[in-house]
């Protein structure tokens, strides 16, 4: 079956750095996505990786290793507004998005 694993919850301090890991086992791979979701709202797109390596976008960076079935989302200079759930999703061979359960990130002052 298809499976995406990410930690359920993480806590970090304002101004610090946090890394959220995601491992996946899917039937085929056509890209990995990270989305941010605040409670009661729709997810918003953060990043997309289809090739190995690091993609940097401001305070957020995303890394992919296809051979290891592994990705991480790195958040720098954490702000209170970064408190949210972070969803890892993979597009499989049918171009269907398979979602992880999400990581709830709690930022403390």
Instruction: Write a three-state SS string for 78-92.
Output: CCHHHCEEEEEEEEC
Q: Is 41 in the site for other proteins (CB under 8 A)?
A: yes
Q: How far is CA 32 from the centre of its chain?
A: 9
Nearer CB in complex with other proteins: 69/102: 102
Please tell me the distance from the alpha carbon of residue 31 to that of residue 5, in angstroms, as a whole number.
16
Q: Which stretch binds other proteins (CB under 8 A): 14-22, 44-52, 62-70, 72-80?
A: 44-52
Nearest-approach distance from CB 70 to other proteins, in angstroms? 19
Nearest alpha-carbon partner for 7 in 109, 100, 108, 107: 100
Per-residue tokens: 77: 């200079």
Judged by CB under 8 A, does residue 33 bind other proteins?
Answer: yes
> Could you tell me the smallest distance in angstroms from the CB atom of residue 96 to other proteins?
7
Interface with other proteins, residue 40, by CB under 8 A: yes
Q: Considering only residues 68 through 107, tell me which ones interact with other proteins, judged by CB under 8 A.
A: 87, 91, 96-97, 99-102, 104
Can you give the binding site for other proteins, defined by CB under 8 A? 31, 33, 40-45, 48, 50, 87, 91, 96-97, 99-102, 104
């Amino acid at each position: 079956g298809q499976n995406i694993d990410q930690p359920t919850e993480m806590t970090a301090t304002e101004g610090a750095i946090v890394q959220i890991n995601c491992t996946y086992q899917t039937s085929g791979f056509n890209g990995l996505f990270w989305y941010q979701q605040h409670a009661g709202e729709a997810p918003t797109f953060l990043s997309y990786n289809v090739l190995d390596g690091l993609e940097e976008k401001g305070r957020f960076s995303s890394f992919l290793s296809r051979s290891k079935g592994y990705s991480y989302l790195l958040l720098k200079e954490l702000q209170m507004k970064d408190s949210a759930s972070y969803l890892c999703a993979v597009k499989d061979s049918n171009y269907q998005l398979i979602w992880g359960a999400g990581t709830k990130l709690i930022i403390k002052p």
